[in-house]
Amino acid sequence: MPHISLPDHLPGITGLLEFSQNTAAPIRELTQILLRGDNSLTQGERELIATVVSHNNECRFCTSAHTAAADLLLGESETCEMVKYDLDNAPVSDKMKALLTIAKMVQKSGKSVSPEAITNAKAQGATDIEIHDTVLIAALFCLYNRYVDGLASVTPDDSSFYQYLGERIVNHGYTRLPQGYDHLKNS
Amino acid sequence: MAYIKLPDNAAGMRGLMAFRPHLAPHLGAFTEGILCIEDGLTKAEREIIGTLVSKLNDCQLCEGVHGAVAACYLDDNEVLIEQIKEDYKKAPISDKLKALLNIATSVQKGGKYVSESQIQRARDLGATDIEIHDTVIIAATFCFFNRYLDGLGIDPIQDSEIFRQRGRMIAKGLGYAPKK
């Protein structure tokens, strides 16, 4: 049960964002620009960063939702699975491995990011903007993961829920649905 | 030295805001929305939560700036801020704020560290749903900003007078949103 009173029909992050719509609006916008805006990292690559951080924070809700989104964007599920459990052998570029390594360091703490990891990412062709955005996305999910689990928001067990959510964040994105979420009551 | 090439003459968050200016208004608006409101928690209490989490995350910049903002809201009582950072359980603050800081220190470790009994303790001392919510999102947000700054190797600021100046600017009305 959540630590505070949240709408029953909105598990995970959505109920929290509806509970506090004033704080939600700018962070939704930030997330939309970071994960969906123009970027030399693909949307799928950015979802991999979100997933690996959520996975290492053991946030089951965010991990499941962003795994579903990454799988939809990449058109297969092996890459995301490998990135979570065996990054060294995952079928991603050396540049992405270097950036995901930085993201995993950010998950631990800001100070954990080593100059060697940055040097390696640059050697693999990562630009300053790509390094910046990797750190920012990883840090942002350290926020979301703590927000969801720190208030014990509901984490559904049903995998079809995450499939639906993955489709929503791929097809609509991270901004509030224009019609709100009342249509999800009793569904 | 920062891990990426940032604009000159822009220390701390300012350099990052200038590096990706299209993100800055949203970062600023989000920060203002959780720190610059007096609804339930006071502005000072919000800054105290941020300061303590930043100290626990060993983020010198955020600890310095937000400690200075908090002191500014409290008639420049820098001694109190030091006491809270040193051992908030012994500091002369309300039991309710101590209970909320206790929740914040768990959020700093990870969301799952927040226990039912910590929440109950805060409730017993009068904390509302909104205050508990705001405590968690503020603590989580500092886990975000601390990582953003330190993860990019942003240089610390050694001169505490600069923190005082920034603290005054933020507390006396400038807030966090980039100004036109």
Q: What is the pLDDT of residues B43-100, one digit of tens each?
A: 999 999 999 999 999 999 999 999 999 999 999 999 999 999 999 999 999 999 999 9
Average pLDDT over residues A1-30: 95
How near does any CA of chain A get to the CA of B166, in Å? 22
pLDDT tens column, A142-180: 999 999 999 999 999 999 999 999 999 999 999 999 999
Which of A1, A3, A13, A102 would you mutate first to test chain B, the one with the most B CBs within 10 A? Answer: A3
DSSP string for B89-116: GGSSS-HHHHHHHHHHHHHHH-GGG--H
Separation between Cα atoms, residue B103 and residue B114, nearest integer Å: 6
Specify whether the CB–CB gap between A96 and A45 falls below 8 A: yes
Nearest CA in chain A to B57: A109
Question: How far from A122 is each of A68, A83, A101, A129, A137, CA to CA, in Å?
Answer: 29, 20, 13, 11, 18
Judged by a CB distance cut-off of 8 A, whether residue A143 touches chain B is yes
Separation between Cα atoms, residue A102 and residue A116, nearest integer Å: 10
Judged by a CB distance cut-off of 8 A, whether residue A144 touches chain B is yes
Q: Is A90 helix (H, G, I), strand (E, B) or coil?
A: coil
The whole domain housing B49 covers: 22-174
Flag if B114 and A149 touch (Cβ within 8 Å): yes
Which of A131, A132, A148, A154 would you mutate first to test chain B, the one with the most B CBs within 10 A? Answer: A132
Nearest to A147 among B16, B27, B137 (CB): B137
CATH class of A12-172: mainly alpha
Nearest CA in chain A to B58: A111
How many Cβ atoms are within 10 Å of A12's Cβ, its own excluded? 23
Q: What is the pLDDT of residue A134?
A: 98
Task: Report yes or no on B17 lying in a domain.
Answer: no
Flag if B148 and A149 touch (Cβ within 8 Å): no
Q: Which residues of A63-84 are buried (b: 16+ CB within 10 A; e: fewer)?
A: bbbbbbbbbbbbeeeebbeebb
Judged by a CB distance cut-off of 8 A, whether residue A129 touches chain B is yes
Task: Report yes or no on B79 lying in a domain.
Answer: yes
Task: Report yes or no on B130 lying in a domain.
Answer: yes
- B39 DSSP β-pair partners: B41
Separation between Cα atoms, residue A129 and residue A134, nearest integer Å: 8
Flag if B114 and A3 touch (Cβ within 8 Å): yes
Q: What is the ipTM of this complex?
A: 0.97
Give contacts of A33 with chain B, Cβ < 8 Å.
Answer: 22-23, 26
CATH number at B69 reads: 1.20.1290.10
Structural domain count of chain B: 1
DSSP at B170: I
pLDDT grade for A187, boundaries at 50, 70 and 90: low
Separation between Cα atoms, residue A17 and residue A66, nearest integer Å: 17
Question: How far from A176 is each of A25, A65, A134, A168, B127, CA to CA, in Å?
Answer: 8, 16, 24, 11, 29
Contacting B residues, span 92-151, partner chain A, CB-CB under 8 Å: 103, 106-107, 110-112, 114, 116, 119, 129-130, 132-133, 136-137, 139-141, 143-151
Nearest to B26 among A26, A106, A118 (CB): A26
Average pLDDT over residues A74-103: 98
pLDDT tens column, B17-29: 999 999 999 999 9
How near does any CA of chain B get to the CA of A70, in Å? 22
Q: What is the pLDDT of residue A152?
A: 97
Token code pair at residue B102: 């206790």
pLDDT grade for A29, boundaries at 50, 70 and 90: very high
Nearest to A146 among B20, B140, B150 (CB): B140
Nearest CA in chain A to B113: A150
Separation between Cα atoms, residue A40 and residue A125, nearest integer Å: 12
Contacting A residues, span 45-84, partner chain B, CB-CB under 8 Å: 57-59
Flag if B141 and A30 touch (Cβ within 8 Å): no
Task: Report yes or no on B1 lying in a domain.
Answer: no
Question: How far from A62 is each of A24, A47, A112, CA to CA, in Å?
Answer: 16, 11, 22
